[in-house]
Chain A
Amino acid sequence: MNNIDNVLLLVGSPKSASSTSNSLGDYLISCLEKLGLTVGKEYIYKLVRKEEGQKKLLTKVKEAGLIILAFPLYVDCLPAGVIKALELIADHRKSKEDRDKQGFAIIINCGFPETQHNNTAVSICKIFSREVGFEWKGALSLGMGGAIGGRSLEERGGMVRNVIKGLDIAAQALAEGKDIPDEATEPFGKKFMPITLYTKMGNLGWNQQAKKYGARKKIKDQPYL
């Protein structure tokens, strides 16, 4: 029998510990820990490549009462490694007759300023949850993920105050066995800054990064023509 007290954070970014998914997930599980829950964390991309890791993933999922999947949006959808993990979990649970009712929540972030880019991926996660017999606890959906850039939320300061507010409320609800309420998803998804400022800063940032690699003048190259 699984217990809600046992929380598993699955970080679904290939950047693992240096990802924004990790920053957001870490903050949420630290809140849950403060509320008295036992928390653990695994990086999906470190597990899905080999059979041994895949077995570990399935064991960790089986033991958890609440699974929180934190991942970035890749090409309008979940990253391939995360889909692989969901396929493995679904295959595994298909063979189990008495499936325990485990909670499942997600934290998704994208580099676009608008959160609506995440909607399809959220729907896919909901279907997954239904298919494997998890109890859907809700989704925290964020745009402008590039502004967090893998740093801890404490380090990002006032800019992410609404994100922190959303995570605090979500943690409280999840710890009480409830779904993530609108009072959490609304502040969490609020824009940190005007879209024009975010895109301008983003465009400058790409140029700076390319310059670092000596590729500033090649940024619009068409290598396959």
Chain B
Amino acid sequence: MKVLILDGTKSNNNESTKIFDLILEELKKLNWDITSIVLEDKNIDYCTGCFGCWVQTPGECVFKDYEENVVRNMVHSDLIIYLTPIMFGGYSSILKKALDRQIGRVLPYFTKIDGEVHHPKRYEKQQSLLSIGLLDKLDTEKEEIFKTLVARNAINMWAPFQRAIIYLKGEDETEFSNNFSKALMEVEAIL
């Protein structure tokens, strides 16, 4: 069972380091093979919107930087975990930079999923998605938007299972760990 953690938080943040450690602890307990990428440290440029990964070098970005490792690891994983501060209800720009460059994981063509147009998958194996959002203070509107965003990403990237877990600053860590662990077991159940 392979997992890829994409850490889209800023360095020197005690709260995110604590959550990152809790995530690792739970994954280790369940014997996951872990790859984690701290995105802030990596040379990943913005997507240019050229669609070269669809029509020029299909499945691969035409620009070579660390993102190639991100997408390669995504393709070989059973589970992808996002770790991000919740920015206005969405992801941090650090995480989103890596996510914008992953569209080679799907094909350019159009297909319908539940009556709505999306892109067909490129690879047979698909990855479940757990997204951990960090919030400084309670904001139910941001939480709902974040959950919707994760669910929409899961549809577009064909994730067989998705869950958004919110960690509110100062919240009981045991509760977070239990929620995360429960979600991991649900992921394992469909593997």
Contacts and interface: CB of A to CB of B under 8 A. Distances in A.
Partners in one complex: yes
Interface of A: 13-15, 19, 45, 49, 72, 74-81, 83-84, 86-87, 90, 112-114, 116-117, 119-121, 123-125, 127-128, 131, 195, 199, 202-203, 206, 209-210, 212-213, 215, 218-225
Given A120-B90, A121-B90, 14 more contacts: A72-B49, A74-B49, A79-B96, A80-B99, A83-B91, A83-B96, A117-B152, A131-B88, A202-B110, A209-B51, A215-B55, A215-B56, A224-B59, A224-B75
A196 B10 CA distance: 44
Contact of B87 (A14, A19, A86, A221): A86
A90 B75 CA distance: 35
28 contacts: A45-B46, A75-B100, A75-B102, A75-B153, A78-B96, A83-B90, A84-B93, A86-B88, A87-B93, A112-B110, A116-B116, A120-B89, A120-B149, A121-B90, A123-B148, A124-B88, A124-B145, A125-B88, A127-B89, A127-B142, A195-B117, A206-B54, A206-B108, A209-B51, A212-B55, A215-B58, A219-B54, A224-B72
Contacts of A14: 46-49
Contacts of B76: 224
Contacts of A127: 88-89, 141-142, 145
B71 interface: yes
B36 interface: no
B96 A80 contact: yes
Counting contact residues on chain B (CB < 8 A from A), the size range is 35 or more
A112 B89 contact: no
Contacts of B51: 209
A25 to B, nearest CB: 16
Contact of B123 (A114, A121, A212, A225): A225
A112 B152 CA distance: 13
Interface centre among A114, A116, A206, A218 (most CB of B within 10 A): A206
Decide if the interface of chain B is mainly helix, strand, loop or mixed. mixed
A116 B54 CA distance: 24
Contacts of A13: 49
Given A75-B156, A120-B148, A203-B110, A215 B57 contact: yes
B135 to A, nearest CB: 12
B82 to A, nearest CB: 12
Given A78-B90, A222-B122, A224-B72, A199 B107 contact: no
A77 B110 contact: no
A123 B92 CA distance: 15
A213 B87 contact: no
A149 B168 CA distance: 42
A223 B60 contact: yes
B91 A81 contact: no
Contacts of B60: 223-224
B153 to A, nearest CB: 5
Contacts of A222: 59, 122-123
B149 to A, nearest CB: 5
B142 to A, nearest CB: 6
A119 B148 CA distance: 10
Given A123-B145, A203-B109, A221 B100 contact: no
A114 B49 contact: no
Nearest to B52: A213
A121 B88 CA distance: 10
A99 B90 CA distance: 24
A223 B59 contact: yes
B84 to A, nearest CB: 11
A13 B152 CA distance: 21
